[in-house]
Structures are given as C-alpha cells and as structure tokens.
Structure 1
Amino acid sequence: MGVVHIGFVLVFSLSGSELPENIEELYQTKYKKILSFLYRHPEMRISLFVSGRILEWIEKKHDEIISICSEMIDRRQIEVLGGGYYEPAFPLLLPADRSAQIEALTTSIRKAAGKKPRGVYLTESLWDPSLISSFNTCGIEYTLLDSRLIPQNGFRPVSVFSPLVVEEMGKTTTVIPLHQSSLPRSGQAPSEYLEFTHTIASSGDSSILACVFTPRYFYTLLEEGWFERFTELLAKDDITSLTLPQRYLKQYRARFSAYIPAGCMSEAAIWTLEPFIPHTRVFSESMRPTVKDFLTVYPEARSLYSRMIYVSMLINQCRGDKLRKKAAREELHAAQHFAPYIYKGKGGISDRVLRGRTYRRLLNAEKILREAFDFKENAGAFDFTMSGRRDFLCCFEAFNAFFTLQGGLLFELDIMSNAANYCAAARHCAKDGSAYALYEKKMFIDHLWDYDDFKSFTSASYTGVPVFAASEYKELAFDRIKKEIRLTVSGVWGKDRLPVTLKKNYSVSENGVICQYILKNEGGQPLKAKFAVEHNISLPSIDGKSLNAEAVVCDARDTLCTESTYIRQSGISFVQLTDTASEVNFIFEPNESCGFYLTPFYTDLQTEDGSFVKQYEAHTCAFYWDVDLLSGMETEKILNFTIKTPKKDTVAKKTKKR
C-alpha cells in the first residue's frame, strides 16, 4: 500500500478588484477564527493564497496577522502561494502584464512573510501553456490545476494523483492536480473521508490529493468540528497525512510528463457553450473550453477585453514619464481581475457595476497616459475588437468615440471627465435564458420597421429579424484628418422582401457626431415603413435615476419622465439628456421633426443567494420617421449628436502650466 498526502489550500480571493464593504466584519466573524484555529493546531498543515488587495488591507489594518502567519511559516505549518496581485485571467494578458502581476504579489509576500513563494494559484484554473514562460521568468516552480484539464486516453493514461511536468518551447513547470470533487462534504464523517483517501493509495506510489477551500466553506467545516476530528484520526493513520506542496515536491522527485492544453475549471467551463445556459458535458477529446471561449460567447466580455489590451499597448508604447506610466499600469492591473471577463452562473460579466468599475480603471489609466505626453486629438482605423475587420477610433480631449462595421454603430463612448463608458449596456439574458435583442445594445443602431415591429419594439418585446442592426456594413471611405467615416449596407424589408440600401456617413468632431443617412428603395414596389435610429445610453449611476430629459415638441419645451416609457409620434426637433451626477449633456437634433421613444432598460441579475433582481443597464431611446418611397427613390435624414462635458477648472489649468 502506498501513501496519500493531502494538500488543502485555503483561498482568500475577491469577487472583483475592490475590497468588500464588510471585509472587517468578515475578518472578525470568520477569518480571525480560522487563523486562530490554525495557530492552535500546528498539525493542521495548509497552503494559503491571499490576493494582493487583501494582503494590502491586512498590512494596514491587522498587521498582527503577518506575525502569526510568519510564525506558522517558520514552523512549516503553512505555505503561502503566489499568483497575480489582482487575480487576473492570466491567459488574456500580454506577457509583460503577466510577469508584472506575479512579481507584484511575490514582492508583497516576501516583504510581509520574509519568504518568496515558489508556487502559484490560478483562479478558476485559467490555464494556457504559454504561461510556463512567464512562470520561469518569475522563478515560479509549480502551479495547481483542475485535474479535469489533464487529457486521458487509452494509449497513455496519466495519473491525476501525481505531479506532472509540462513543457512549452523548451521550458517546464510542475503541475499539481486539484480534485474539487474530492472536497470534504459538510456533514460527512471524518472517518468516511479518511477511508476515501485510502482508496487513492496504490502499491509503491506516493499520491497527492489537493483541493481548494473558500473561507466560507472552511469556516462551515470548522464550526462542525470536522478538522479537529480529522487531524486526530490522521495522527493514528499510517497511510494518509497532511502536506504542503513545496515540501512534497522536495521529498518526491518522481514526475509524469504530460501536455495540458489550454482550459479552465469546469465550474466556469459549463457556461462557455451558450450565453447564460449551463452545459454539464463540456470536457471531451474534441471540446475543451478555455477562458477565451467567454470572449466569443459573451460580447460584453469581448468589448472589455479589447479595451484592456488597447490600454496595455498604450502603456507599453509610452516613453518618458515613468511615474505616470507606473500609475497607469497599476490602474490597468486592477482592471485585469478575472471576474468581469467570465461568467459562472451569477455576477461576473452580467454585473453592470463590476463592468463599470473595470471600464473606469481602464479609462483612468488612459487619462494618466494623456498627462504623460502632449495629447492631441486623433483618429485611426485598425482591428480594435480583434474580429478580423477594421474599427474606427476618434479620440478627443473630452471623449472617445469608437465605431465598428458590425451594425455600423458607435460601440464605445468614453467621457473622460468622469472616466465612464456611456455605451456599455449589455444585452444578456432574462431568467429563462432568452436574449433581449439580436443585436448589440449600443448607439446609432439603424432600423426599418413596419407597424408591428414598431409596436413590439416600444413594448420591449421586439423579436423580429433586424433589417440593418445585425448586418455588417461595408466601408466606403475613411478620412482620418477630417474624421469622416462613410459606410453602406443592403438588406431586404417586409414580407415582399423589398431590397433597400442605406448609406451612413459619420462626421466626428470635438463637439460630437453628425450622422447622415440616405435610404433608397431598390425594389419595384413602394416602400412604406418607419426608419429609426436607436441609442442606448448607459449612465454610470447604479439605478440610472440621475438622468434628466428635455425635448422640444412642436416648438414647445417639455420635461420628460425618465423612469417610465415616453412615446411621441411626431413633432420632436430637439432632445437633451443630462447626467446630473456628472453634468454631462447629450443633445440630439434631427434635421426634420420626428417621433421619439424613451424608456429605461433593465436586465435580470442573479445574486449570491440565487435570487434575481432587476438591474439597470441603460436608457433606450429611438428617433423615427415615416418614409414613403417609390421604386428607385431615396430620402435623407440627419441626426446631430452633441456632447457637452463640464469645463475644466481654469485656475488648476494655469497652476499646471506654471
């Protein structure tokens, strides 16, 4: 009979880059009792992972924990694992950011505990073989990975209870498999769990059984007295013992060689096949979900990822001001926390507040970089969204406006004064898993409706096939000096499938956006429809109640209610939407009077206890005109969109110049 070494890992992590408001309460009611138990029981060996933000808080508020943990490290009771300072999704980062995140946490641990970590904990086992190079660069010797990521086949079975050596481009690291399905169950007798560990042991082998605890679950077992009874049984057992990863690897040098493709823990992987719908069978020879599958399934994750990579490249290109560059990099690293890029049944990418905080950090990083050099307004075209097509970026002192060919829409509107993306609305699912829309809920979305389509849209039940909104536009011309974008798209409308074309010309300036539309009836029958332009303005406030709306209706000013639906069939010549919290004004002026629709847009957010709450996403508005075109005829519509932001403090400006 061989022996089994149990490697328990206790992970203190965050659901986002921000500390929870009740962290002091968590410490007093749970964390403190856990640490006290460990200190009183030297036989309870365990590995700890503490995120950088929590470690930072401990050093400021409870430095006594540092002394206690240092003593337990000296008596070889605990081992502190490294990783990313802000718990990033490592496979999504550029190599420079991977190393910087690891080094930042390593430095903090070495200063606090006096010992450099040799292993890393990867949140959700977000793995990619390219990480091996970064681990080698940072002096990391091993990592822990979900055992379900280890390929198995009949020709060369690989033990999932032994360390594995994995290689990439001539560099290697050691992987210790994690077995979350083997976590002790609440209510399970310690003797039963001990018998289970005996089944793992095999003749002549030394197996390792590693699994991860959250503080909440560890505390639950602690309250049941489970660990005390289990350690008492271990003291009399010759087969099973507790160990620390580094100690185990020093004692047992035998390794299996294996190749582990990119992947992630199955608790996350089940959400990568279909938006917000779990699929239990996700691991097979032909299907191995990775963290990048989230980017293809969830458009909100793709948008956030694109923005993160863009800021990372801006920082790497910055030369000169090292202090500002460092400050910008810190904001970037905080925005690389894994949570807003994935979904696990609740929170994550579906949490609008979390997405908003991440965008704010990325925009703050860009603002700091602008201070580091003489910023000038500019425009460019490249594949920002990494979709294989050109996107168009227009950057000004007051705002950024990013356009895409998919839908021909404005997909990101960044107001720099309050570092907020007002184009961040999601289109994610309701409780039943159905999508709210078949297109991105952004700005300058084009529609051609009949009466039924219009009625269903204004009743928030639109399920028709969009004529233009879900189409890919073609680029006719782009002038980076004048900041003009000319696009076109073709489609068919109505039951008779009448061919129509739309030319869309953007002209962007420091004042805002002017969009010209030329709609043409290419069919042999008259076209009678409603042409509409939809906008989804996502306010940074949690509930969106900071929005004021005014309109000029038939030459009379009218104040609109923004907490309910407003519809006006005609007579609209001016609309002003104001974010009172940040004093940002959005002014819409059509070239001819039109109809107008305004309503708050909500999605369903699942909370920690499994219940659903209404979550504000944006205010949806639409400008629409009745069009009546004979065969071969066309009509022109123009929508002027003006952005007014708070003026800079002139006194501060003069002080800066001095």
Structure 2
Amino acid sequence: MNLIICIHNHQPVGNMDYILEDAYKAAYLPFFEVLKEYKDIKINLHFSGYLFTWLLEKKPDYVALLKLLKEQGRIEVVSGGMYEPVLSLIPEDDGCNQIRMHADLMEEIFGERPKGAWLAERVYEPHIPQTLSKAGITYTLVDDNHFKAIGMTEDDLFGYYMSEFEGHKLAIFPGLEFLRYTIPFKPLDVLDTYLKDADGKGHKLAVFGDDGEKFGLWPGTKKSVYEEGWLKMFFEYLTGNQKWLRTVTFSEYLATPPKGPIYLDCQSYKEMGEWSLPPIFAKEYSAAISDKKPSKKTIIKGGYFKYFLIKYPESNDMHKKMLSLTKIANENPEAKKHVYMAQCNDSYWHGVFGGLYLPHLRASVYEHLIEAEKILDPKEPFVTGIIDDVNMDGIDEAVLTNNFLKAYFYLKEGGTLYELDYKPASSNIMANLYRRYEGYHDKVKMTSSTDVADGTKTIHDMFMAKEEGLERFLYYDWYRRASLVDHVMGKDVTWESFYRCQYFEPGDFVKEPYEASCKNENKSTILSLVREGHYWKGGIGIPLVIKKTIRMTANESAVYIDYQIDGDVKENFLFGVEFNFSFLGSGGDRYMDLGSGRIPLTSKGIYKPSRMLQFYDPYQKVAPTIECDHPISVWTFPVEVVSLSETGFERNYQSTMCMPVWDIDLTNGSRAIHLKLTVNGINRNNDLQ
C-alpha cells in the first residue's frame, strides 16, 4: 500500500514578522530536522509564496536543507497561487498568473517545475480543472468531503480520479479526513489499524494532506509532536513497515491508472462548510457532522465559500475593490503585484483560521489595494466624485477621491462613510467590523482560560478562552460600524444602552436609504445626501429631514460635512454623528484627545464637549482630527468582538467609536451643524506632517 504525505505551510500576506519567526521555530524547522534523519520517507511539500519569500530572505540555511532533500528525491514540491488566493474569488487570468509566479520561483530554487497545485482552503469549483490546466498543472488535492458530497463512500477514496472542464484535464486526489484527525493527534496504533484495514481491503493509496502548522504551532502540539516524540515515532513506524506500506510522491503514483472519471461540485473541507453558513444553520450543520451514527452523515453538504461575501459585507467591500482594480492594473506590473498580494485569501473569510476578524490582515489587503491605486492615479492634483454600484449589490454607492483621500458612502443604509483611504499611508482608517452573532458564541460560557491543550485534539475539537468573562462582551450591533452614522435619539438614551446597542432610536435614519447627487466642479466635488425620514412617537411618524453635504477639494486631505436638520418635531432630541476609526490596535503610543488631554483608545464614557477631537496612531502613520460645532458631549467606547482562532476564544479590538452629540430644538426652525474631518500623516520621527 502507498501513503502520500502532503504538508502545506502558509502565512498570510501582512502577518507580522514575529509571527512567522514563531511558526518557523515551532513547526517549520523542527519538522525537517526530524525528517532529515529518515532517509526512506518521501513527502510532498507546499509553501505559500509570501512565507517562502520570507524564508529565502531570513532562513537561507533552512532553504538549503529543503533543496538537499529535494535533490535526494525525498521531497516533491507542490505549487499553488503565489499569494495563496482562493481561485474562485479572483479572475481566471489572475489565478493562472499567480500559479505561474509560484511555479517560476519553485523552479528557480529547486531546479524542477512543479506539476501539482495546492488549492487554498481546498476550495473547489467545477471550472478549477481549466484554470489549473492553463497554468501547466496536472494534479491537485482536495478533501474526501468533496467526494462524499456527491455520494461517494470512504472505500471509493483510496486512489485518484480524473476530471475535466471544457476539455482541460486534471487529476484529483482525495485527502482522507480520518488521517487529518489522526495525524499527529492519535496514538500510532489507531493509525496502524486504519491503514492495515485499508490494505486488507485491497486499497492501493491513502492520502494525507494538511497544514504543517499542526506539527508544533497548534496548541499543545509542540509538546506532543516533538518533546514527547510523536513525529519521530511516526517516521519510525513508516520506516519499520516498508514491506507493506511505502511513502510516495504524487507524481510517482500518477504512473498508476486513475480509479475513473469524476465531476465535483462547489466544496471545501467540512469545517469550512460550517463556517460559511449563516450562524443558525451553521449550528445545525455542526450537530449533523458531529453525530456518531454513520447513517446520519450521508451526503451532508455545508455552505458555499462565496457566501462569506454575503455573510460579511466588510469582506465584500474588499473583494469588489480588488476586482475593480485588477482590471485596470493589467498593464502595470508594479500595481498588479500589489493586487495579487491583496488577493491572499485569509482576510476574506472567518472560521477557526480565517483572518477577517484580524485588523492587521484586513489592513494588509487595503494597503496593497491603495498602493496599486496610487500607482494608477493621475500624478497632477485632482478631485472627482461618482455614484455607481461599486460593491455590485444592485444599489449605487458614492465615491469621492483626490490625491490624498478616497471616501466611500453607503447610500442604501444611512448615507454612511464606510471606507476612508488615506493614500500617503496606504491605510483605510475605517476598515471596521461590526459586532455580530457567531454560532460559536453559545460555547463561550462553557470555556475557561485555565483549559490547556495537550496535543491530543485538533483545533476543531478544542474550545479554550484567552481570558475569563468573555461573555460580558457579547453585544451585537444592528447596523454597520461606519462613520457619519446619523443617530436621532430620545433624551432618555444612556451611554450604557448605546454601548450595548440595546436602546430605542425614534429616528429612522441609521439603516434607511438617502437620496444622493454628486456635482464635480473645477477644484472640488460635492456629494448631497438627503433623507426625508421620521421621528417616531406613539406609533406616529413625525416628519424629519436630514441633509448632509460632503465636500472634497483637490490636493487636501480633508472632508467637509455640513448638516441641515429640519422637521415638525416639537420636543428636544439628541443628534449624534458616529465615527469609527479602525486602528490596528489600541495600545502602545496610540491615543485620542477629546479635549481634556490624552486618553487610551479603549476609553469608555461620556466626555465634556470639545470642538476638536484628535486621534494618533504612529504605527499606521495616521492622525485623524474631527472639528465640530459646539456639541454638548462626546461619547466613546472601543468596538470589541469575541472571535475564535487557533488558540481559542479571544477579545479583539476592532475600532474606536467616537460620537459628538448635540441637543436639537427645531421649534424655532432648522438646525445647521458643521464638521471637518482631516487626516494628517505622521513622519518617521512620529511628528504630525
């Protein structure tokens, strides 16, 4: 019997250097330090391009070891998209070019062009054979879940199959879930029983393909895999059983005929099927796939990967910005490379691994997209505004841009400012994420920060907490955390209820559409947003109109906002203009000044009125400032979410909410409010520019 071992090592574009260093020391280096001693064992190896480029620069001796193992015939190098894109999320030409970039690099370093490709997150769609074939790829690996979803059984999966799309052929190997959950977590006798049973049935091939990080970086595995010797015992087991079990490469086994033809539908691994579903259905799916009765697990299909773009509008914003840029960057290699780097998959989804909840990974996507835009922008001063369906949901948005800023407005919900790119720092300072219910939140109360991983469970089976009392932060927003969010509130609303997002708002402006018009003038562009809404009292809607006019001028990093509030409301009410700024963290030298001195970005409460609200982030090199007309107070709090990662449940800072509030009295006529939002840069000495 043959065993294929495929190790996939990946770090997303934008991950911090120390994270890569930790992963290298915990998993990437020790794995091969052990493997090199077992000369009869062959593996297949994939490194994503961002990680491998880092290794080339930082760890030349390690790369030399990999080259030596390749020369000895003990490694087959597997290719993939250079910056680990999910191929179904990007244009086919981009996917082919990314694979060619990666294959070129592998051929340059290892002297042989890869024949196979690792699919990011094993996300497969029916057109994938065409994409890979055009890029010169002959085989790939997916999960057994892909095959079981179309009615195949476990016994059908010990081999490989041939598929095609419009005549483009591809060999597809099914990786076995049992091996994913056994290696390196279960005792070797469990693995031995499974493989001998397969051999006894006459099966010729078993395939294991999974993340290299599970060998030392996943919780508890450093101790179990290396200190307690699981990996060494595994290699000794393989070495001692070569009479009936031998490790082979993909290319070696392709000399054996396939089991037959196959056509797969849109699938990934089973856990991704859970994460990509709406939360309620995700819980049902999780219960179904966890059922111990085999009869309950026949042809269970989870969600569709692209549903992440619906589930998380913040993901869709990045995705559609990327799609709009990749078309116009085709003739500029420098800009195109930035687009490729922004296609790294991690920031576009969320599960145990997905990085959407990690601000620094979202920031990386925006950084590269803004860098591409800067390269493609006119070099002379300019300003322009458009109204168009930029996020492709069938309803228009508005976009204002000049040399310094690019501002996106969500017209169908509140006319809010949901993206503000400060081009000199290549930073979207409003890459916010709102607090939402996730299916795993029900498990938060059952976890403890004292729980310890022992390396016997996969991260899919563990639930740990990084701190006690995380349930205290489980509040959910009923609107997107953007800026220029217009709150019409009763005088009885409290800061606490507003923070919890558990209050009644008599105005109908936050989630309702605004009418928009845009006028481009010689040196400025003006966006007019109007909503003829209501102030609801006793079931009666009292007419209330809010008009906000946004002006951007050429060659200035500022946006001017003028409000006009008018209507038949006879009682005073509170009007708040909410801003959310997404800094990459809340600590270090970051601060805000709401008029009474520097305070942390995580400060909570109601502060005295101030006409100048300042924020300072020397790490992103941005310092936004809000100037406003005489508010009665300023409300603030950090927007924090409880999310799940490889190391358990954790609290993540997403943005700082800041809202100047006015007491509005319309009995003597309309009320005007003027604001100015300026984004200043910070130089290398951390001084304002």
Distance 1:149 1:465 in 2: 47
CA distance in 2, matches of 1:332, 1:505: 34
Are 2:271 and 1:267 aligned? yes
Q: What is the CA distance between 1:412 and its match in structure 2? A: 0.4
Which one-letter code corresponds to 2:311 in the other structure? V
Structure 2 equivalent of residue 379 of structure 1: 385
Partner of residue 596 from structure 1, selected from 609, 624, 634: 634
SS state at 2:103 partner: helix
1:40 and 1:443 map into 2 onto residues whose CA distance is: 58
Query: How has the CA–CA distance of structure 1 residues 340 and 255 changed in structure 2, closer, same or farther, with 3 Å as cutoff?
Result: same
Structure 1 residue identity aligned to 2:326: S
Partners of 1:19 and 1:538 in 2: how far apart?
A: 18
Q: 1:360 & 1:145 partners in 2: Cα distance?
A: 31
Moved more, 240-249 or 346-355: 346-355
Q: Which runs of 5+ in 1 are unaligned?
A: 320-324, 552-557, 650-658
Per-residue Cα deviation, 1:339-373 (whole angstroms, up to 9, x for no partner): 111212366111112222332222222223337x5
2:650 to 591, 595, 612: 612
C-alpha displacement of 1:175: 1.2
100 and 469 in structure 1: CA distance in 2 versus 1, 3 angstrom threshold = farther
1:585 and 1:645 in contact (8 A); partners too: yes
TM superposition shift of 1:310: 3.0
**1:189, 1:561 → 2: CA distance?**
53
Residue 119 of structure 1: how far off its partner (Å): 0.7
Whether contact under 8 Å (1:346, 1:605) holds in the other structure is: no
Shift of 1:158: 9.3
Q: Does 1:358 align with 2:358?
A: no
Counterpart CA distance in 2 for 1:57 and 1:151 is 37
Q: Which range moved further: 156-165 or 471-480?
A: 156-165
Q: What is the aligned counterpart of 1:295 among 306, 309, 328? A: 309
Residue in 2 aligned with 1:653? none
1:199-256 C-alpha deviation (Å, 9 max, x unpaired): 334766634433325244277446233223322442232xx43221111112x22343
Query: What is the DSSP-based 3-state SS (H/G/I as helix, E as strand, rest coil) of the residue aligned with 1:40?
Result: coil
What TM-score, normalized by structure 2, do the two folds share?
0.81
**Cα pair 2:142 2:173 within 8 Å, conserved:** yes
- The residue that corresponds to 2:101 in the other structure is 104
Q: CA deviation at 1:153?
A: 5.6
Which of 237, 248, 264 in structure 1 is aligned with 2:253? 248
Return the TM-score normalized by structure 1: 0.84
**CA offsets 1:446-470 (integer angstroms, 9 cap, x no match):** 1121234344445545354684455
Q: Are 2:672 and 1:637 aligned?
A: yes
Are 1:415 and 2:461 counterparts? no
Give the aligned CA root-mean-square deviation in angstroms.
3.4
Q: Deviations over 1:91-143 (max 9, x none)?
A: 21122321221111101100111111111112321222233222111100111
Q: Partner residue of 2:117?
A: 120
Distance 1:392 1:152, change over 3 A: closer
Give the aligned partner of residue 332 of structure 1.
339
SS in structure 2 of the partner of residue 350 of structure 1? coil
State the match for 1:48 in structure 2.
45
- What residue in structure 1 maps to residue 561 of structure 2? 515
SS of residue matched to 1:98: helix
Partner Cα separation in structure 2 for residue 161 and residue 289 of structure 1 = 26
Corresponding residue number in structure 1 for 2:452:
none
1:391 and 2:431 equivalent? no
Per-residue CA deviation, residues 615-656 of structure 1 (Å, 9 max, x unaligned), is 3322212233333457xx97333332231535999xxxxxxx
* Deviation string, structure 1 residues 360-414 (Cα, Å, up to 9, x no partner): 222222223337x556322222222222111111111111111111221001011
Structure 1 residues 575 and 166: CA distance shift in structure 2, 3 A = same
Residues 544 and 418 (structure 1), Cα distance of their counterparts in 2 relative to 1, 3 Å cut:
farther
Conserved? CA contact 1:109–1:117, under 8 Å:
yes
| Aligned ranges 1:37-436 → 2 under 5 Å | 37-152=34-149, 159-183=156-180, 184-186=182-184, 188-201=186-199, 206-217=204-215, 220-221=224-225, 223-224=229-230, 225-237=232-244, 240-250=245-255, 252-274=256-278, 279-280=285-286, 281=288, 287-316=301-330, 319=331, 325-345=332-352, 348-370=355-377, 374=380, 376-405=382-411, 406-429=413-436, 431-432=470-471, 434-436=474-476
Match of 1:14 in 2: 11
Alpha-carbon distance between aligned partners in 1 of 2:240 and 2:404, rounded to the nearest angstrom: 66
Q: Does the 8 Å contact 2:407/2:417 carry over to 1? A: yes
Q: Per-residue deviation at 1:262?
A: 1.8
Q: Percent identity?
A: 19
Describe the superposition over 1:251-301 as per-residue Cα deviations: whole angstroms up to 9, x where unpaired.
x22343222222222233322223597651479869542321222112332
Q: Is the 8 A contact 1:420 1:540 kept in 2?
A: no
The question of whether the paired residues in 2 share the 8 Å contact of 1:402 and 1:412 is answered with yes
1:241 and 1:155, CA in 2 relative to 1: closer, same or farther beyond 3 A? closer
Distance 1:151 1:583, change over 3 A: closer
2:368 counterpart SS class: helix
**AA of the residue aligned to 1:246:** S
Question: For the structure 1 residues 226 and 121, does the alpha-carbon distance in structure 2 shift closer, same or farther, using more than 3 Å as the test?
Answer: same
Distance in 2 separating the partners of 1:544 and 1:472:
38
Of 549, 571, 576, 2:613 maps to 576
Cα shift at 1:527: 4.7
Which residue pairs with 2:590 in the alignment?
A: 546
Alpha-carbon shift at residue 12 of structure 1 (Å): 1.7
Q: Does the CA contact (< 8 Å) of 1:417 and 1:646 recur in 2?
A: yes
